[in-house]
Amino acid sequence: MANGNNNHNDWVEAQILEVLNERPGKRMNYKQISSRLGFNSKPDRELAGEALMDLVNKKLIVEQPKGSFYIEEVSEFLEGKIEFNKRGAGYLLTGEDEADIHITPGMTWPALNGDIVQVEMISTRRKDKPEGRVIKVVRRAKQEYVGVVQVSDGFGFFVPDDTRSHTDFFIPKDKLRGVKNNYKAIVKITDWPKMAKNPNAEVVKVLGKAGEHNTEIHAILMEFGLNPEFPKDVMDEADKMPVIIPEAEIATRKDFRQTLTITIDPADAKDFDDAISFKVLGDNKYEVGVHIADVSHFVTEGSLLDKEAYARATSVYLVDRVVPMLPEKISNELCSLVPDEDRLCFAAVFELDGKGKILKEWFGKTVIHSHRRFSYEEAQEILEAGEGELATELTTLNKIAKNLKEERFRQGAISFETEEVKFKLDKLGKPIEVYKKVRKDAHKLVEEFMLLANKRVATLVNTKYKPYSIPYRLHEPPVPNKMMEFAAIASRFGFQINTDSEDEYIQSINAMTAEIEGTQASTILQPLAIRSMEKAFYTTKKSGHFGLGFDYYAHFTSPIRRYPDLLAHRHLFKMLDKVTPIDQSNLEAACKWSSDREQKAVEAERASIKYKQTEYISQFIGEAFEGIITGITEWGVYVEIIENKCEGMIRLKDMTDDIYEFFEKGRYVLGMRKGIKHQMGDVTKIRVKRTNIPKRLVDFEFVI
pLDDT digits (tens, 9 = 90+) for 473-507: 999 988 888 888 889 888 888 899 999 888 899 99
State pLDDT tens for residues 364-387: 999 999 999 999 999 999 999 999
194, 276: one domain: no
The tally of domains found in the chain comes to 5
pLDDT at 314 over 70: yes
d(Cα 291, Cα 364) in Å, to the nearest integer? Answer: 10
389 part of a folded domain: yes
User: Do 558 and 451 share a structural domain?
Assistant: yes
Between CA 106 and CA 434 the distance in angstroms is 42
Alpha-carbon distance 161 to 403, whole Å?
Answer: 47
Distance CA 297, CA 253 (A): 12
* Beta strand pairing call for 677-679 and 62-63: unpaired
CA distance 193 to 311: 34
Count of C-beta atoms within a 10 Å radius of residue 57: 11
What letter would DSSP give residue 243?
S
pLDDT at 417: 75
Could you tell me the CATH number of the domain that includes residue 103?
2.40.50.140
Instruction: State the pLDDT at residue 341.
Output: 96
Average pLDDT estimate for 221-248? 94
Asked if the structure places residue 502 within a domain, the reply is: no
Q: Which residues contact 53 (CB under 8 A, 6 or more apart)?
A: none
Distances (CA, A) of 303 to 233, 298, 336, 445, 476: 11, 10, 20, 36, 34
HSE (side-chain half, CA atoms, 13 Å) at 658: 15
Same domain, 93 and 64: no
Q: Which of 16, 49, 70 is the last residue of a domain?
A: 70
- 549 & 689 share domain: no
pLDDT of residue 337: 97
Q: What is the mean pLDDT of the chain?
A: 90
- Residue 125's pLDDT is 58
Give whole-number Cα distances, 526 to 415, 512, 531, in Å. 9, 9, 9
Query: Which comes out higher in pLDDT, residue 244 or 75?
Result: 244
Q: Are residues 131 and 181 in the same domain?
A: no
Exposed (0-12), middle (13-18) or buried (19+): which is 167, by Cβ within 10 Å?
buried
Residue 380 has what pLDDT? 97
Instruction: Of 323-327, 419-423, 619-623, give the lowest mean pLDDT range.
Output: 419-423
CATH number assigned to the domain comprising residue 48: 1.10.10.10
| Mean pLDDT confidence for 455-475 | 96
Q: Smallest Cα–Cα separation from 639: which of 484, 523, 497, 532?
A: 523
**Residue 55, pLDDT above cutoff 50:** yes
Note every long-range contact of 516-520, with CB atoms under 8 Å and residues 24 or more positions apart, other chains counting.
517/417, 520/642, 520/683
What is the C-alpha to C-alpha distance for residues 279 and 363, in angstroms, rounded to an integer? 17
Pairwise CA distance, residues 415 & 555, whole Å: 20
Mark whether 154 and 272 lie in a shared domain.
no
Contact 119, 154 (CB under 8 A): no
- Which phi-psi region, left, alpha or beta, contains residue 283 (left: φ > 0; alpha: ψ -120 to 50)? left
Q: Which amino acid is at 98?
A: E
- In this predicted structure, what is the pLDDT of residue 2? 38
Assign 48 a pLDDT band (cuts: 50, 70, 90): confident
- Say what the pTM is: 0.84
pLDDT at 84 over 80: yes
Task: Show the domain range for 88.
Answer: 74-139
Is the predicted pLDDT of residue 530 greater than 80, yes or no?
Answer: yes
Q: Is residue 506 part of a domain?
A: no
Q: Residue 98: its pLDDT value, please?
A: 63
Is 239 a domain residue?
yes
Work out the burial of residue 665: count CB atoms within 10 Å of its CB; fewer than 13 is exposed, 13-18 middle, 19 or more buried: exposed
- Same domain as 125, residue 182: no
The answer to whether 448 and 405 are in contact (CB under 8 A) is yes
Instruction: Between 689 and 34, name the one with better pLDDT.
Output: 689
Q: Judge if 301 and 419 occupy the same domain.
A: yes
Q: Over range 135-150, report the average pLDDT.
A: 93
Q: What percent of the chain has pLDDT over 90?
A: 66
Select the highest-mean-pLDDT range: 57-61, 333-337, 479-483. 333-337
Statement to judge: residues 330 and 187 lie in one domain: no
Residue type, 232: K
Determine, yes or no, domain membership for 449. Answer: yes
Q: Which residue in 273, 363, 303 sits closest to 562, CA to CA?
A: 273
Note whether 206 and 183 are within 8 A (CB). Answer: yes
The string of DSSP codes covering 52-70 is HHHHHHTTSSEE-STT-EE
Per-residue pLDDT at 518 exceeds 90: no
For 152, residues 6+ apart whose C-beta sits below 8 A from its C-beta are 181
Which contiguous run of DSSP H or E holds residue 393? Answer: helix 391-410
- How far CA 316 is from CA of 347, 445, 593, 603, in Å, comes to 25, 24, 15, 10
Provide the pLDDT for residue 3: 43
Examine the domain organization and report whether 541 and 631 are in the same domain. Answer: no
30 against 448, higher pLDDT? 448
Report the C-alpha gap between 571 and 576 in whole angstroms.
Answer: 9
Q: Is residue 508 part of a domain?
A: no
Is residue 597 in a domain?
A: yes
pLDDT at 346: 98
- pLDDT score for 6: 52
pLDDT of 592 over the 50 cut? yes
Which residues 6+ apart lie within 8 Å of 692 measured at CB? Answer: 614
* End position of a domain, from candidates 565, 593, 616: 616
The reply to whether 461 and 545 lie within a common domain is: yes
pLDDT value at residue 4: 44
> Residue 97 — very low, low, confident or very high, per pLDDT cuts 50/70/90?
low
> Residue 485 domain-assigned?
no
Among the candidates 41, 70, 99, a domain finishes at 70
Are 252 and 325 found together in one domain? yes
